[in-house]
Amino acid sequence: MVQKKGFNLLKTQVEPQTMWTKLYRWTTTTARAIMVFVELIIVVAFGFRVVVDLQFKNLNKDIASKEEIMSVLQESEMRLRSTQDRIGLYEQLWKDTPYYSNVYLEITKIVPVNVQELSVQILNNEVTIKGFADAQAIEDIESGFKNSSLFTKTELLNIESQGTDTDSFTIKTNLNNLPMRSEVLF
């Protein structure tokens, strides 16, 4: 038997979609894409978290090692700072003290070599010279200090006879405009 085929020009009747059908269709299409996108975001966030945690751990290790180094170097730094402070103080003291080389040269020129037990004391720009010499040498020493431009207010404080040809003497004089080391050397 032969069947006749025909055209059906009428629209096929589709049952109206129920809520479950709509939900199923949405779940298999749009929700799947949303789930894949959310899973990608979660994977990227997890990877980012791993990287950040590793960096944090490495930074903590670096900080701990640097703190150990700093604690070891702290004592050395304190010693170096103390040394720097002392050097600065010594330098300041050196610059602010008078320059006595010229004074000693002048004293050695004035005082003859035959003076015995010579003692030279310089304190606060005041020079005290003690020793044993004959009367003529003592007179020459006194006049030498009085004629020198480095010394002022020269006076013979004491002269004592020792019963021999030498006498004990004490001469006191003041220094005249003694330059500071910083003016001479720097």
- Select from 97, 131, 153 the last residue of a domain: 97
For a pLDDT cut of 90, what percent of the chain falls above it?
Answer: 23
Confidence of residue 149 (pLDDT cuts 50, 70, 90): confident
Look at the chain and report how many structural domains it folds into. 2
- Select from 97, 125, 144 the last residue of a domain: 97
Q: What is the dihedral of CA 158, 159, 161, 165, to 10 degrees?
A: 150
147 contacts 115 by C-beta, under 8 angstroms: no
- Select from 97, 132, 166 the last residue of a domain: 97
Tell me the CATH number at 156. Answer: 3.30.70.2830
- Give the strand order in the sheet containing 167-175: 116-123, 126-133, 167-175, 151-161
Residue 10 lies in a domain: no
Q: How large is the average pLDDT for residues 47-67? A: 95
Nearest to 151 by CA among 177, 170, 169, 129: 177
Domain that holds residue 158: 101-178
129 contacts 119 by C-beta, under 8 angstroms: yes
Residue 113 lies in a domain: yes
Residue 183 lies in a domain: no
pLDDT at 93 over 90: no
Q: How large is the average pLDDT for residues 82-89? A: 92
What does the pLDDT read at residue 151?
A: 82
Judgement on whether residues 106 and 93 belong to the same structural domain of the protein: no
What does the pLDDT read at residue 107?
A: 81
What does the pLDDT read at residue 180?
A: 64
What does the pLDDT read at residue 82?
A: 93
The pTM score is: 0.47
Residue 170 pairs with which residues in a beta bridge? 130, 158
For a pLDDT cut of 70, what percent of the chain falls above it?
Answer: 91
| Lowest model confidence (mean pLDDT) among 126-130, 168-172, 182-186 | 182-186
What does the pLDDT read at residue 133?
A: 85
Q: Which two tokens stand for residue 24?
A: 């199923």
Q: How large is the average pLDDT for residues 121-132? A: 84
Judgement on whether residues 58 and 117 belong to the same structural domain of the protein: no
